[in-house]
Amino acid sequence: MDAVEGVVVAEDEAFWSVVESGEGGALAEVLGLEAGVVEGVLPALVDWRRSRVERSRAAGMRYRVSWSVVDGGAGVLSGRWLVVASEGVPGERVEACVGALVRGGAEPVVVVLDDGELDRWELAGRLTEEDGFGGGFAGVLSLVGLDGRTGVVGVRVGVPVGVAGSLALVQALGDAEIGVPLWCVTSGAVSTGRADGVVVPEQAMVWGLGRVAALEFPQRWGGLVDLPAVWDERVGGRLAGVLGGVEDQVAVRASGTFARRLARVAAGAGRPGEFASGGAVLVTGGTGALGAAVARRLAVRGVPELVLTSRRGLGAPGAAELVAELAGLGARATVVACDVADREALAGLLGEHPVTGVVHAAGVVDTVPLVGVGLEEFAEVLRAKTLGARYLDELVPDAEMFVLFSSIAGVWGSGGQAAYAAANAYLDGLAEARRARGLVATSVAWGPWADAGMLV
């Protein structure tokens, strides 16, 4: 800033502090006008200033995930590498990864788990046996995350085999005392830009889970590698490079190796849009802390009709008072008890109350160290967020507003919250997948809110 600009900035600041003081006489003096002239516009100026300051403060708190091209590394590996896959992982993918390890200098030992071995204890037994044959591995490459099947016996509804298997593997490696770096492979979990294919939200869950494993078991964590749908020799070389390199959240693409970064959103980018439709908005978890806050904000912004859901509905504390408060703000609110993870119930609700906008804020959190979390409780934390979001995506595809309440736990992990992180990573992935399909969607990964909500 040069001297002239500095003077202008100082004068601007002085002017706006007079506006913020709300004193008409002082402002009239600054402007050289009669006090009566400025008094009429002063309240509007004060409001304008306040909203701009709030908006720029909020903008300063915004970050987004970005991808940087990095040096792919030399790809020099050594020692025995345990490669773990499951029945649903395409054989050619296993072969390609094994080939990449061999060319990188490693000696792969391949274990393909059948569906009966997805259980943590079965798996620990099998791994102990494999480890015992040669006396130790240099690393573990898990391809289990690539198994996109659902509905396999023993794996709960809403938990893809790749996620259940990855959870079992992280735990079983600890049980079998195999303390070498674990690398988890996915395909389509992340998008590095427009040239990428569509994100598969189920694959993104493995990244959410992996980031928590990285926090809880740093000494035996390698990283996450996302591979492209189409394999070629360069991809194999880059995979070996990543396994021998320093980056731990990487997308390998035909065009290069990309490392995940968190970057500040540039000022002025993604200016807030207005929800212009006069239609109704569904707020799931609408009787919870953040759901109620967003309902109030929507009412203030002129949304005429709100449909608020939670499992307890009007039985939730404060629900009736919230309806009255929203009426006072000009919105007609209906509270309906509905489990968003129950597709039929959700479809029935939307049949009765058609909406043009969706805010999906329903969710539960649980804090259990990864070493002890069971598949049942893992699935329980996933269901409202992931099944709810999936059904909303299917049932309101052309929503004019589709906002998912995600969490920072999904972005950088949170100790003891593997399922919660996986669920939020799913939401972020679903928003990307919708946008790639030309639909609207925004996933807001909130940091902890003060004063209210599930983390207080």
Ligand X SMILES: NC(=O)c1ccc[n+]([C@@H]2O[C@H](COP(=O)([O-])OP(=O)(O)OC[C@H]3O[C@@H](n4cnc5c(N)ncnc54)[C@H](OP(=O)(O)O)[C@@H]3O)[C@@H](O)[C@H]2O)c1
Question: Residue numbers of the site for ligand X (CB under 6 A)?
Answer: 284-285, 287-291, 309-312, 316, 339-341, 361-364, 384, 405, 407, 446, 448-449, 453-455
Dist CA 137 CA 122 (whole Å): 19
Residue with the two structure tokens 């970050």: 63
Helix, strand, coil percentages for the chain (3-state, nearest 5): 45, 20, 35
Would you state the structure tokens that stand for residue 209, as one six-digit string? 């889970």
Nearer to ligand X, 257 or 284 (CB): 284
Shortest separation between residue 340's beta carbon and ligand X, angstroms: 4
Nearer to ligand X, 247 or 432 (CB): 432
Largest distance between two CA atoms of the chain: 92
Residue with the two structure tokens 């039929």: 344
Shortest separation between residue 366's beta carbon and ligand X, angstroms: 11
Nearer to ligand X, 25 or 415 (CB): 415
Nearer to ligand X, 89 or 421 (CB): 421
CA 388 to centroid of chain Cα atoms: 14
Shortest separation between residue 209's beta carbon and ligand X, angstroms: 16
Dihedral sign of CA atoms 113, 117, 118, 121 in order: negative
Shortest separation between residue 357's beta carbon and ligand X, angstroms: 17
Position of minimal CB gap to ligand X: 288
Nearer to ligand X, 86 or 310 (CB): 310
Residues 6+ apart with CB under 8 A from 416: 212, 216, 367, 368, 369, 370
**133 close to 126: Cβ distance less than 8 angstroms:** no
**102 close to 108: Cβ distance less than 8 angstroms:** yes
CA angle 133, 134, 137 (to 5 degrees): 120
Would you state the structure tokens that stand for residue 378, as one six-digit string? 């893992």
Burial class for 234, CB neighbours closer than 10 Å (0-12, 13-18, 19+): middle
Nearer to ligand X, 191 or 309 (CB): 309
Nearer to ligand X, 98 or 280 (CB): 280
- Cβ atoms within 10 Å, residue 115: 17
Shortest separation between residue 160's beta carbon and ligand X, angstroms: 19
Shortest separation between residue 455's beta carbon and ligand X, angstroms: 4
Nearer to ligand X, 23 or 342 (CB): 342
Dihedral sign of CA atoms 304, 309, 313, 317 in order: negative
Shortest separation between residue 307's beta carbon and ligand X, angstroms: 12
Shortest separation between residue 454's beta carbon and ligand X, angstroms: 4
